Amino acid sequence: MSSTTLQLAVIIASVREGRFGPVVSAWFAEQARRHRSFEVDVIDLAEVPLPLELPSTPPALDPNMQRPASMAELTRRLAVADAYVIVTPDYNRSIPASLKAAIDWHFSQWDAKTIGFVGYSGASGGLLAIEHLRQIFNELNAHTVRNYVSFPRFFELFDAEGRLHEPDGPAAAATAMLDQLHWWASALAAARSPQPVG
Ligand SMILES: Cc1cc2nc3c(=O)[nH]c(=O)nc-3n(C[C@H](O)[C@H](O)[C@H](O)COP(=O)(O)O)c2cc1C
């Protein structure tokens, strides 16, 4: 891929012991690599300390906000991404607290970027978390794409090696979402560029 290849960060939202998130994210990251339109970076929030105590000045009002040094690498990886796909379960009809903390510790990193979702859980397949994320990212001036991937009753869909029993439908859903993400990521990267167009 060229140095101008768009960057996609795939974010594993859940951090609990025994979580299923890495299985879903590994499947999606493979779909994203096969799509060949992004350089793919998988960010595992379980590897980052995410304190709940934010600084006194909200990130929106402080472009130079100080974060814990242990968060610097996460911040760098979020900042270079042109697009994100968040892999999230429903936790009590919403998102895991780990993901909300990671979002709230940042601000400009999400600005004018595009975001897609892969959800999984019981009956709702992550859709309740995804709908909350659309509201959250609207506040952060990010564009969430229409298409998504959802795995209701995820525990029946994957084998012990993390392969889907019936992969074609989810693969088509991932491709449709990645197509939309690529369109928006290209448009927003050009719009964010300080270079005049043309
Ligand atoms: C705190 C918590 C809340 C949950 N709430 C829901 C829920 O509202 N709806 C649902 O279908 N499943 C719910 N579940 C079940 C999760 O979908 C399931 O445990 C899934 O494996 C969680 O993702 P993870 O393994 O990556 O943490 C919940 C699980 C946890 C741990």
Distance 6 CA to ligand 1 centre (A): 32
> Tens digits of per-residue pLDDT, 99-146?
999 999 999 999 999 999 999 999 999 999 999 999 999 999 999 999
Ligand 1 pocket at CB < 6 A: 14, 16, 19-21, 89-93, 121-124
Distance 192 CA to ligand 1 centre (A): 37
Ligand 1: residue whose CA is nearest its atom 9: 90
Taking the C-alpha atoms of residue 94 and residue 192, their distance in angstroms, rounded to an integer, is 31
Round the average pLDDT of the chain to a whole number and report it: 95
- Predicted pLDDT of residue 198: 46
Distance 89 CA to ligand 1 centre (A): 6
- Predicted pLDDT of residue 186: 98
Taking the C-alpha atoms of residue 177 and residue 20, their distance in angstroms, rounded to an integer, is 22
Identify which of 23, 91, 94, 95 to mutate to test ligand 1's pocket (most ligand atoms within 8 A of the CB): 91
- Predicted pLDDT of residue 185: 98
pTM greater than the 0.85 cutoff: yes
Distance 17 CA to ligand 1 centre (A): 12
SS3 content of the chain, % helix, strand, coil (to 5): 45, 20, 35
